Amino acid sequence: MKKKLGYVLINPYTIRKSRTGGIINRLLSWGNLSLVAARMFCPSRELVEEYAEALYLSGRTGNEQEKEILEQIRDYLFQNYLPSGNRPVPRVVLLLLEGENATLELKRIVGHITRVSMGETIRGTYGDYIEEEGKVKYFEPAVFIGTGREETIREVKIWAKYSAQDGGALEEVISYPSRAKVEKTLVLIKPDSFQELSSRPGNIMDRFSQTGLFIIGARIIRMGIEQAEEFYEPIKERLVEKMKKQLIGPIRSFLDDFLDFPVPEGVEKTIAEELKIYKANNQFNRIIKFMTGRDPQKASPQERKKEGLEKCLALVYEGEEAVEKIRKVLGETNPEEAAPGTIRKDFGRTVMMNVAHAADSPASARREMAIVRVGDDDIKRVVEEYYGKV
């Protein structure tokens, strides 16, 4: 069966309450769905008006209760998706997910907008619909999804239409005190978190939410070989000396075990010095293969330029001392050396498969964000691949 595309809009209140990770956790572990694109939006009035109209068209044939809920949704969109008074500028995350029955799967995972909260759905956990004396006192649906296949196509095309204009790596959407030391930093959630159904990407985002920083950019990327080599170029020099240290012990053990005469002290260092560049190059190529899914030593010139076979989730966080805060929660590069309670200690396996990458300085963050192009618009391209011209 041909796979279909579904969408999830994570609402501004859900984002402000740092529930984004919990939502993604359930989307990627409760159903047979794959995340294919992600983008931050500050919706314009034109986008909100068109989307609200599309939802009205989708629900106009429903019963009275469904029409009443539809009115609540319309009011909610204009009150929460647009700037108003002293409230923060609304940020919305659009996720595109692929599956054989994507819309039905999303309806099962997300749940209906009802008066009864059930914890086994996303809305049952994170949404609210409270009535008193027949009037709605509080309404928070947590997320929006398509209600049917045709409705999904119509609605997601609207978001694709405005994606370049209203989405991207958002600028000047968060207010800070005048003397705040505001930084942006990049996080990449690595490929091993996406190779099977897993709650790990969402759990990792939950941990980063402890920093109090703001997500202002999100994109699913598939690094190509040349892109990955440029991204990791700064570590090549550091790898050389690191690999020399790693070689000394095994070389000493090998010499002692396999030679029938005493080997003078220090010989292992001389041999390690000769081999360190070869070892570093091998390790660098392993990193590139892990991040891209392509072997850089076997790839043709054409394959080196292609998009990779593995995916990462690129996130841009903003806030005071963002670089230091993210790296503290992430932990040391080697999970075995990471402090208890850090992300790498709890989820990492090896120095390479250590869950996530985080920029080590504001300058590195700027360089890395330019390489992975977090602001690039994938939404329109992906939607058109599935459902034709927007």
For 360: left if phi > 0, alpha if psi spans -120 to 50, otherwise beta; the answer is: alpha
| Tens-place pLDDT, residues 132-187 | 666 666 789 999 999 888 999 999 999 999 999 999 999 999 999 988 889 999 99
Assess whether pLDDT exceeds 70 at residue 381. Answer: yes
Q: 316 with 176: CB under 8 angstroms?
A: no
| Tens-place pLDDT, residues 326-347 | 999 999 999 999 999 999 999 9
pTM of the model: 0.92
Q: 232 with 284: CB under 8 angstroms?
A: yes
Q: Give the model's pLDDT for residue 62.
A: 61
Of 110-119, 136-145, 188-197, 314-323, where does mean pLDDT reach its minimum?
110-119
Domain ranges of the chain: 1-168+375-390, 228-305
Three-class SS of 118-130: CCCCHHHHHCEEE
| Tens-place pLDDT, residues 135-147 | 666 789 999 999 8
Give the three-state DSSP class for 87. Answer: coil
| Tens-place pLDDT, residues 40-78 | 999 999 999 999 999 888 666 666 667 777 888 899 999
| Tens-place pLDDT, residues 269-311 | 999 999 999 999 999 999 999 999 999 999 999 999 999 999 9
Residue 194 is which amino acid?
A: F
| Tens-place pLDDT, residues 236-272 | 888 998 899 999 999 999 999 998 898 899 999 999 9
Q: Give the model's pLDDT for residue 10.
A: 98
**How large is the C-alpha radius of gyration of the chain?**
24
Look at the block and give the residue holding tokens 């709605």: 136
Q: Give the model's pLDDT for residue 116.
A: 59
Assess whether pLDDT exceeds 90 at residue 117. Answer: no
* Percent of residues, the chain, with pLDDT higher than 90: 77
Q: What is the residue-averaged pLDDT of the chain?
A: 92
Assess whether pLDDT exceeds 60 at residue 81. Answer: yes
Q: Quick one: average pLDDT of 98-127?
A: 86
**1-168+375-390 maps to which CATH number?**
3.30.70.141
Neighbouring C-beta atoms of residue 290, cutoff 10 Å: 16
Of 105-119, 190-204, 216-230, where does mean pLDDT reach its minimum?
105-119
